[in-house]
């Protein structure tokens, strides 16, 4: 409980308004574009790296506007964006994660899991991984349901040690 207590102490009142172009993001995920900056995780990373301190609101870490779509974020769009971000993380086409060697070889445990993949074509990839870590933290802080992050135990062990 000390962990949650610390989260409370470092929580703030501000939040960021995220303007996400879902179609551009889907173009990357579907292989129509190779520009990772246009992916939804790329768009999220852009906002996070510019305003890290503004993502500390415990109940509303960010407000989502999907460009060219109707909707008011009363929580549903925030959860929808979280799901879309996880889909980007789990997509090899985005280029940040790849399947485990066990998956590629069809043997052993954790075949369904993804591991970080440092694509040399992606400049400043550390920014994306930092934003993904922040997304996990935001989920814990705001108790936003964490959808299907399919990392092997090695990944989770690294995060907590």
Q: Mind listing the pLDDT tens digit for each residue in 125-151?
A: 999 999 998 898 888 877 776 668 888
Per residue in 86-129, pLDDT (tens digit) is 999 999 999 999 999 999 899 999 999 999 987 888 888 999 99
Q: Annotate 15-55 with DSSP letters as a single string.
A: -EEEEE-HHHHHHHHTTS---GGGSHHHHHHHHHHH-GGGG
Instruction: State the DSSP string of 99-133.
Output: E-HHHHHT-SS-TT-EEE---TTSTTHHHHHHHHH
Q: DSSP letter at 69?
A: S
Other residues' Cβ atoms within 10 Å of the Cβ of residue 136: 14
Predicted model pTM: 0.86
Q: Which has the higher per-residue pLDDT, 43 or 119?
A: 43
Look at residue 155 in the predicted model and tell me its pLDDT: 84
pLDDT at residue 40 tops 80: yes
What local confidence, expressed as pLDDT, does residue 74 receive? 66
């Amino acid at each position: 409980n000390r962990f949650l207590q610390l989260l409370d102490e470092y929580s703030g009142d501000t939040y960021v308004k995220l303007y996400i172009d879902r179609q551009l993001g889907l173009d990357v995920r579907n292989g129509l574009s190779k520009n990772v900056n246009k992916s939804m995780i790329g768009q999220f990373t852009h906002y996070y790296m510019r305003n890290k301190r503004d993502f500390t609101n415990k109940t509303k870490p960010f407000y989502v506007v999907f460009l060219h779509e109707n909707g008011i974020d009363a929580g549903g769009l925030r959860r929808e964006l979280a799901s879309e971000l996880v889909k980007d993380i789990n997509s090899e086409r985005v280029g940040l994660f790849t399947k485990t060697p066990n998956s590629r070889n069809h043997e052993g445990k954790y075949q369904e899991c993804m591991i970080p993949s440092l694509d040399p074509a992606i400049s400043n990839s550390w920014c994306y991984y930092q934003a993904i870590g922040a997304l996990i933290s935001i989920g814990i802080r705001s108790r936003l349901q964490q959808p299907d992050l399919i990392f092997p135990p090695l990944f989770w062990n690294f995060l907590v040690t």
